[in-house]
Structure 1
Amino acid sequence: MLRRLIRPIWRLPRAPKVQSIRHNSTLNEEYLDTKNLPMRWEKMEKEAQEEIIDHLSDLQDESWKKLSPDNKRACYYLAYGEWGPRNKQTMTVPEVVFKLITSGILFIVLGVTAVNYAIDKEKKEQLESGSNQSAAQVT
């Protein structure tokens, strides 16, 4: 009985899949090669990266069983790999200099603050002990 209800739903016309068509492509088919993608990704041109992302997103719309292991690894790398905002790049020379200067200024300010706090604490103790002695002399 349930199959009789579900079967007509299966036969409903479906919207055709929209695929991007690229004419006169300037990219070679070798860019769509996803073997060892993490090693090649940073060296690739921006257009090639976008083309691979589009290609893999189109492939992911279909069954994952149809994807090759290299395509699955590439999809995983694009989703979770260290590229873009997750990239752990080393700092450039100007960034290192800026970080050193700001850190130095911060520690100098903290040092001056600590010294001033110690001096103020000593003076406060001297004033309190001096006021206690003068109070004792008055009585």
Structure 2
Amino acid sequence: MKLKKLVVAALLLSASTWGGCGSSGVVKPTDEQNAFASVEGLGDLAGDDQMFASAFVAGAAPKNRKDYGERGYQVNGEPAFDGDSVTVPVKIFGGVHATSSGDTRGGKASSVAETEQVWTLQRIDGQWKIKDAPLG
């Protein structure tokens, strides 16, 4: 019985230290994950002028911001990294409802046809910004 208690105590002690193992427990996102987040979150950012502009390289934000808010975006393939630049195949789809309070579409979903485009992103000061994001 004493041996059983020692084994259980040892297992509990081991299990409590496995999670620590010298790591902080915080997992840093990869370059690929950061680039994907820049693409896939764009529809949400389109509800606000400043947030939308901040997703792009300075001066590259398209004038038709509301068109970007009516669509959803999904990385659809492998990105091609080249230093501080990456090209990403992006599936663009409609049917997205805007959630911003300034939306004037009355909650109607976009009926935009699905398409795929290649977008270009550039790393600036450690952050991925969209350089070119054609809709179709």
TM-score range, shorter chain: under 0.3
Larger helix percent: 1
Greater strand fraction, Structure 1 or Structure 2:
2
The TM-score with structure 1 as length reference comes to 0.25
Q: Please give the TM-score of this superposition, normalised by the length of structure 2.
A: 0.25
Q: Which has the larger radius of gyration?
A: 1
